[in-house]
Amino acid sequence: MQFLYNAITLGDPRQCQLPFCLWTLTLVRQLLKRKFGIELSKSGVSRLLGHLGLSPQRPIYRSYKRDPKEMKKYLDETFPGLRARARQIGATIFFVDEAAVRSDAHRGTTWGKIGQTPVVEDSGDRFSIKLISAVSPRGDMKFSCFEGRMNGESFVEFLKKLHADAGRPIIVIADNASYHTGGAVQRYVAQSQGEVTVENLPTYSPELNPDEQVWNHAKARLSQRFVATKDEFKEALLSIMRSIQRTVDLVLSFFQLPETKYAADAV
């Protein structure tokens, strides 16, 4: 039982030479039979795991490419330094992210007869809108739509609007897209004379960005709406984004997740 508990809580099936990354009752049965010659039914395995204090849960997916040392440096040195600078110069810290929201990103559930999967008809058309947003630990949320691919010039235009809306210096933290640190952005930052700072998150670490929750929340709400045309889709999405923008407590909650709480006090 100790072996089984450690195997499940300290690793995944691949570390036990099993061909899957998620623990299922079937894999646990295979492991017990191979390791100890013990054969249990699925219900027996389920009861055993419950006795061990384990339960089925939706996992958080993280990239195996992320660098723990880089993350530690960001959390222990980079971000505390940015927070201190923000307080020194009276700046607002913003976390920024871009996303393409699709009309077929259905995430909701619906009630139906047991054993019969409900069918929901839609138009069959596929629409997408590209947006960029920014959130601050103060509960601010700004967003803008854009066409085509985001590049350095478009990102600078968003930074200009963000700076003007803030009415004070801003420190922007974004992912490692090349245009976030390209020539256009570097020139704008230099010309701002300390009014605008752009910093990067550790590579492959989107969970550290509270702005990711804007898209999770928007897509979840959008999945519950029926849209037949691109205009209806855009109207629905912008309505949801404005609702998030007005709900300060919701934006603040994006900074209360285990992975984002480090930034909650950067006001």
> pLDDT tens digits, residue range 169-225?
999 999 989 999 899 999 999 999 999 999 999 988 889 999 999 998 998 888 777
Give residue 9's pLDDT.
Answer: 81
Domain range summary for the chain, segments of one domain joined by +: 2-51, 68-263
- Per-residue pLDDT band for 6 (boundaries 50, 70, 90) equals confident
Query: Highest mean pLDDT range out of 77-81, 144-148, 221-225?
Result: 77-81
Q: Which residue has the higher pLDDT, 127 or 111?
A: 127
Q: Residue 130 and residue 120: Cα distance in Å, rounded?
A: 26
Arithmetic mean of pLDDT over the chain: 86
Give residue 4's pLDDT.
Answer: 86
Question: Is 143:101 a contact under the CB 8 Å cutoff?
Answer: no
- Among 81-85, 154-158, 214-218, the range scoring the smallest mean pLDDT is 214-218
112 pLDDT more than 70: no
Structure tokens at 38: 């013990």
Question: Is 223:107 a contact under the CB 8 Å cutoff?
Answer: yes
Sheet holding 196-200, edge to edge: 141-146, 128-135, 92-102, 170-174, 196-200
Q: How far is CA 87 from CA 41, 169, 240, 253, 261, in A?
A: 59, 11, 32, 22, 18
Structure tokens at 186: 């570097």
Structure tokens at 231: 């205009």
> pLDDT tens digits, residue range 227-236?
778 888 889 9
134 pLDDT more than 90: yes
Q: Residue 134 and residue 234: Cα distance in Å, rounded?
A: 19
Q: Residue 62 and residue 65: Cα distance in Å, rounded?
A: 9
Superfamily of domain 68-263 in the CATH hierarchy: Ribonuclease H-like superfamily/Ribonuclease H (3.30.420.10)
Q: Residue 151 and residue 134: Cα distance in Å, rounded?
A: 16
As a whole-number percent, the residues of the chain with pLDDT over 70 amount to 86
pTM for the whole structure = 0.72
